[in-house]
Chains A and B, each alone.
Chain A
Amino acid sequence: MKANIVIIGGGISGVAIAYNLAKKGMKDIVVFDDNYMTGGATGRCGAGVRQQWGTKGNCIMAKMSVDFFETAQEELQYHRDIEFKQEGYLIVATNKEEDEQFAKNVILQNSVGIPAKQLSLEEALEIVPHLNKDIVTSATFCNTDGHLNPFLMTDAYYHAAKRLGVKFFYNEKVTDIIVENSKITKVITKNYEVITNKVVNAAGGFSYEVGQLAGVELPVYSENHEILVTEPIEKIQGPMVISFSKNIYCQQVPHGSFIMGRSDLDVERGHDIGSTHKFLDEMAKTAVNLLPPLGDLRVIRQWGGSYNVSPDRQPIIGDTDQLEGYYLAVGFSGHGFMFAPMTGLLVSEVILGLPTTIDITDLHIDRFKNNETTEYEHSVV
């Protein structure tokens, strides 16, 4: 088999890159994934879409991605509902430091057109009445943030890309990338040998290993982040509620169930994506403390998934001087799903040598070269 480009990883980033390349006229695009569709980080994510970030790069990526999600159903001509719900993210502050930081964040967010605003406790309670008012001091709210179904969004991109001629191979693991005279010549999988000189690493939790296959060193690692879901009930909560200090995000999805997650600060780096009682215990305590009525909901399932973490918690997007024809869409640090439309657009522009829609200097891997401190994203759960 011959291909103009091989994309490794058929999660949300991979399918979005494939779709954008095909839409711009590229032929013979091949996507490999070692699992079933959304078997990796995409299908395990918290399904939230937000624009309220603490760095300009993340804010712009998120804002332009939401603009796309608003029209995705039509543009991709998908036959199912992608379940995009824009009822906002309510980010609650629990102390004075957070309150002051959030005020700065809102100014940044507004400067790039994100309609976030700071709210008093009373205003926050009007939006989510069951907040524990003894904990929350203030909040920020952006009404165009929300929820999107990761399985169906990926499937929508997949179908649209397929119609444009992209070839997909799921359950087909890439085992080697052959490099001769500093150029990519072949991609080897379990069942195929593909002659190509371009490769995209969109391998999510396994980005580092896919870098190693071609001798490309990436400053990323993976860690397990756990989530649980409750039984569905009638709608009682519109927006996602997040607290960085309490370490929680919690949203009622259109289906009626509540999805919630938090980070384990002691988690070991690696590919473990198991479920722990520690998470269940801490998650239950945190959720019931911040949102007391949720105590009556039954937990029906918990799972884990990989965050592929970069040094500054911002994605790494673009080419690399380590290897010609090798492109990166890695290190999303837990936010690859909501940034995918921009990932797809920007990576396709870099590959085709077109001017990029936004300046990607701050997202390029070279930002880590001089050991200069880059802008660090603190608004992460």
Chain B
Amino acid sequence: MNKKDIIICRCEDVSLEDLHNCLEEGYTTFEDIKRILRIGMGPCQGNTCGLLAQREIAKYLKLPLSQVKVHKVRPLITGVKLKAIVENNKNES
């Protein structure tokens, strides 16, 4: 399958080809790549792309997966409407 058609980050529409190009340019940590490609910055906050990107970085650097850091996890865990916070709304649709 064409690398252009393999989507790594669904939120920000980043393909495997984008990721490989970024690695080739010398950005080889998740935090660096995130700042260039926005990978992990979308609504899923890296839940989908985190492991995929980690695997690609490990392959590129020829390191075991356990030695490749993933992104920093930040609040919130899921998207919450601003007005739900304002109204202290219990029903988070």
> When chains A and B are docked, how far (Å) is the Cα of A36 from the Cα of B71?
12
Give the one of B35, B36, B80 with max A CB within 10 A. B35
CB contact under 8 A between A302 and B81, given known A155-B36, A285-B86:
no
User: Which residues does chain A contribute within 8 Å of B43, judged by CB atoms?
Assistant: 231, 298, 300
Q: Please tell me if the beta carbons of B41 and A287 are within 8 angstroms of each other in the complex.
A: no
Does A295 sit within 8 A of B, measured CB to CB? yes
Does B31 sit within 8 A of A, measured CB to CB? yes
Among the listed stretches A37-45, A47-55, A126-134, A235-243, which one makes contact with chain B, having 4 or more residues with CB under 8 Å of it? Answer: A37-45
CB contact under 8 A between A296 and B35, given known A301-B76, A303-B74:
no
Distance between B27 CB and nearest chain A CB, rounded to angstroms: 9
Q: Please tell me if the beta carbons of A281 and B36 are within 8 angstroms of each other in the complex.
A: no
Q: Mark B43-85, 1 if CB is under 8 A from A, else 0.
A: 1010000000000000000000000000000111001111101
> When chains A and B are docked, how far (Å) is the Cα of A297 from the Cα of B41?
16
Tally of A interface residues using CB under 8 Å: 30
Q: Please tell me if the beta carbons of B35 and A295 are within 8 angstroms of each other in the complex.
A: no
User: Which residues does chain A contribute within 8 Å of B17, judged by CB atoms?
Assistant: none
Name the contact of B79 in the complex, choosing from A38, A80, A231, A288 (C-beta under 8 A). Answer: A231
Q: Mark A135-158, 1 if CB is under 8 A from B, else 0.
A: 000000000000000011001000
User: Which residues does chain A contribute within 8 Å of B79, judged by CB atoms?
Assistant: 231, 298-300
Name the contact of A296 in the complex, choosing from B45, B81, B85 (C-beta under 8 A). Answer: B81
A interface: dominant SS: mixed
Name the contact of A299 in the complex, choosing from B32, B38, B42, B80 (C-beta under 8 A). Answer: B80
User: Which residues does chain A contribute within 8 Å of B38, judged by CB atoms?
Assistant: 255
Q: Please tell me if the beta carbons of B41 and A295 are within 8 angstroms of each other in the complex.
A: no
Distance between A47 CB and nearest chain B CB, rounded to angstroms: 12
CB contact under 8 A between A151 and B86, given known A298-B79, A301-B45, A302-B74:
no
Q: Mark A66-81, 1 if CB is under 8 A from B, else 0.
A: 0000000000000010
User: Which residues does chain B contribute within 8 Å of A284, judged by CB atoms?
Assistant: 82-83, 85-86
Q: Please tell me if the beta carbons of B82 and A294 are within 8 angstroms of each other in the complex.
A: yes
Considering the complex, give the chain B residue whose CB is closest to the CB of A287: B82
> When chains A and B are docked, how far (Å) is the Cα of A37 from the Cα of B36?
11
Distance between A287 CB and nearest chain B CB, rounded to angstroms: 6
Does A379 sit within 8 A of B, measured CB to CB? no
Distance between B93 CB and nearest chain A CB, rounded to angstroms: 10
Does A185 sit within 8 A of B, measured CB to CB? no
Does A230 sit within 8 A of B, measured CB to CB? yes
Q: Please tell me if the beta carbons of A299 and B31 are within 8 angstroms of each other in the complex.
A: no
User: Which residues does chain B contribute within 8 Å of A302, judged by CB atoms?
Assistant: 74-76
> When chains A and B are docked, how far (Å) is the Cα of A280 from the Cα of B29?
29
Which residues of chain A from 227 to 262 have a CB within 8 Å of any chain B CB? 230-232, 255
Which residues of chain B from 17 to 45 have a CB within 8 Å of any chain A CB? 29, 31-32, 35-36, 38, 41-43, 45
Does A94 sit within 8 A of B, measured CB to CB? no
Does A189 sit within 8 A of B, measured CB to CB? no
User: Which residues does chain B contribute within 8 Å of A320, judged by CB atoms?
Assistant: none
Considering the complex, give the chain B residue whose CB is closest to the CB of A281: B85
CB contact under 8 A between A37 and B32, given known A275-B75, A295-B82, A298-B80:
yes
User: Which residues does chain A contribute within 8 Å of B41, judged by CB atoms?
Assistant: 301
User: Which residues does chain A contribute within 8 Å of B31, judged by CB atoms?
Assistant: 36, 39
Can you list 24 A-B pairs with a CB-CB distance of less than 8 A?
A: A36-B31, A37-B32, A37-B35, A39-B31, A275-B74, A275-B75, A280-B75, A280-B85, A284-B85, A284-B86, A285-B85, A295-B82, A295-B83, A296-B82, A297-B82, A298-B80, A298-B82, A299-B79, A299-B82, A300-B76, A301-B74, A301-B75, A302-B74, A302-B75
- Additional pairs, 6, CB under 8 Å, beyond known A275-B75, A299-B80: A37-B35, A152-B36, A284-B82, A296-B81, A296-B83, A298-B81
Residues in B lying within 8 Å of A, measured CB to CB: 29, 31-32, 35-36, 38, 41-43, 45, 74-76, 79-83, 85-86
For the complex of A and B, 9 pairs with smallest distance between CB atoms: A295-B83, A298-B79, A284-B85, A151-B35, A284-B82, A288-B86, A295-B82, A36-B31, A301-B74
